[in-house]
Structure 1
């Protein structure tokens, strides 16, 4: 896989992004779970989470040879998990000053709009956001369907499709089930030279002028 042939996972948080990132690392692919600097985008080949799930149109144009993976998950299981995540993130997501990086805030605000203290705990709103995102991704890639793979990491057959899409050898273990329950720290525990830092010593870049070629 050339560094220009990048793969972006555009599934929403809590759909298995860490599991596919670990599978990519196990296959020998430089991987970033979140990316906030130009250096990160240049060094990694496989990406997930923010800002991929919100900025995929920019990435598709910035990297014309890139491909994309849309993750799906049982809706009720996803709702329970995403509400726990958003509740933990609420203070840093919704504050006007400080908190998370502007790009991370923008990603969540775009996909979960309107995002506020009420909607981040509203099943109906979050379910609608999930469906809107799924449909938007499918529609965006409909003129070029070979660039998009849609999978569910809980489906063993979809692991085989994932490997075929990346042209990698399957592992007997398939996708690891990571971040079970309310745990979200599995990526921090991954130790590999193929794990690419998403920031520059904690600092992020302003990528606004870099998205488009």
Structure 2
């Protein structure tokens, strides 16, 4: 993806904190010979301290052959997006109809090396990490080999550890626009309040404050 200097993450912590709570994305895998790339939607848990992502998929999933052939993958996450009408972006003194429409969004792409997990005990540990991320309040039994309720299900899945080797992040929220234009856009988003509008507005104001 194209990342202009004004859309770059200010520091690694910006995209890492965002990714920690935006945990649904698309895993892009090189296809087998003669096949197009394979894209799998999935929930995942990002572990910044370990520099890895953990997830799991059903054993019959056709992704496994492609991963075994080429473990270099990209995990792509996009969220907090909003359409910005042209008049909102018109420069001061210019006709409103000359404003250029655009999209606001946050995006992180992680280049990773995939490690398949088939050992039952390792799969159980991986699943417990995911449950701990998605259900920190508890409410579910721990996964343990041979124990109910999940032990018998382990054979039906394969675990996946994604070792992060590079990261690219983009926060496209009018950073190159004048303060007057950014203020106008923030006000219009607050009025419209469509899906994603308030999250996009918060990014715009946060980066403006910074």
Please indicate, yes or no, whether the TM-score normalized by the shorter chain is above 0.5: no
Give the TM-score, by structure 1 length: 0.21
Q: Which has the higher strand share?
A: 2
Greater relative CO, 1 or 2 (CA 8 Å, sep 6+) = 1
Instruction: Select the structure of larger CA radius of gyration.
Output: 2
